[in-house]
Structure 1
Amino acid sequence: MRWPLDLPAELAVGSVALHPYTDDDAGALFDALDDPQVWEHIPRAVPSRAADLDAEIRSKLADGNRVTFVVWRGDAVVGRTSVLHDPADPDGAEIGGTQLARAEWGTGLNRAVKQLLLDLVFAQGASWVQLRTDERNGRSAAAIRKIPAVQELGLRPDERTRRDDSRRLSLMFRIANPAGP
């Protein structure tokens, strides 16, 4: 798979658009995600201001193995998502870190966002795409199954610790490139 990704200025379908994250997005993104339910299954601390959210995103971008996108619906920022590259397993990528404004849950936005990213990653030679969610996040798991993605057997211990100090266990899903390897 080609990495870094060859990114267009915008990925879009209908009223949904993805733009690579810039620090100019922090305020609108913070406002869009300002709901405790949006952060319920996120293992890291909930940012208390836009600058904290920006610092968290920038720290994850620092190693060059992640691209974070801001999700837009029309002229409003409504979330974020990322593509992650593992140099130790370069044949595929992971789509993750997706958080959408509470008002967007159940609207089909997540599926549209994931399809845009799947098309991008597969067009750049990925053999597979992986997705994961916390074992406790049934809503997210159901959304991933609708893409459709195949759940791998068992739970995978995650390196992350939940905010309640328990070790996160992740449900793992995979989608093979429909064009083949």
Structure 2
Amino acid sequence: MDRQPILEGERLFLRPLAREDWDALFAVASDKRIWEQHPMHDRWQEPVFREFFDDALAKSGALAIIDKASGKIVGSSRYQDHKPDQGGSVEIGWTFLAPALWGSGANAELKRLMLTHALESVERVNFRVGETNLRSRKAMEKIGGRLTDETQIVQLPDGPAVHVIYAITRASFAKGPLS
């Protein structure tokens, strides 16, 4: 599976994240509202976001999200944890969008593009969401994510954080609200 494709929708253009995207992406990420429900609620701070950004580049699955109308970077997302065995799975996550796009349908378009691409190669896409991140959990339900009984506990600087796992399969995507 190509984890750094170029994808284009009606309003969004996705391309591999590059080191040169730092200034534009940090300008978006420095808005505290993005991270207020996220387990890493301090990611708006430059040193914390720098670690996130460097990790995204190192793992080679990150995409810059560009608003086609303005040509500006408006967020980022990633494909990660690709497992090709038994039908295959990949995780889509680490997604954030500029608050100006919240409620606009941009997240649905972004996820539709990423899911369409991923489900050509894998049977299942997973989404790991902070248990208390209600904004992201509602967004997952809105796009047809099914809450599984799987959880992960991640050790963060402030202590352990519980993440719940949502899934969208090739079959459910074909029938779901994003089709």
- Asked whether 1:70 is paired with 2:64, we answer yes
Q: Are 2:16 and 2:64, in contact at CA under 8 Å, matched by a contact in 1?
A: yes
Structure 2 partner of 1:159: 154
Structure 2 partner of 1:13: 9
From 158, 169, 174, the equivalent of 1:176 is 169
State the Cα deviation string for residues 44-87 of structure 1 (Å, max 9, x = none).
752544x864553223443x4x5000111121111000000245
TM-score, L = length of structure 2 = 0.82
Q: Are 1:71 and 1:77, in contact at CA under 8 Å, matched by a contact in 2?
A: yes
Structure 2: unaligned runs, 5 residues or longer: 175-179
- Greater helix percent: which structure? 2
> For residue 23 of structure 2, what is the amino acid of its counterpart?
G
TM-score, L = length of structure 1 = 0.81
Q: Are 1:23 and 1:54, in contact at CA under 8 Å, matched by a contact in 2?
A: no
Aligned-residue CA RMSD (Å): 2.6
Structure 2 partner of 1:84: 80
Secondary structure of 1:144's match?
A: helix
Q: Are 1:43 and 1:160, in contact at CA under 8 Å, matched by a contact in 2?
A: no
**Pair 1:39–1:6, CA change in 2 (3 A):** closer
User: In the comparison of the two structures, how many residue pairs are matched?
Assistant: 169
Structure 1 partner of 2:99: 102
**Pair 1:99–1:6, CA change in 2 (3 A):** closer
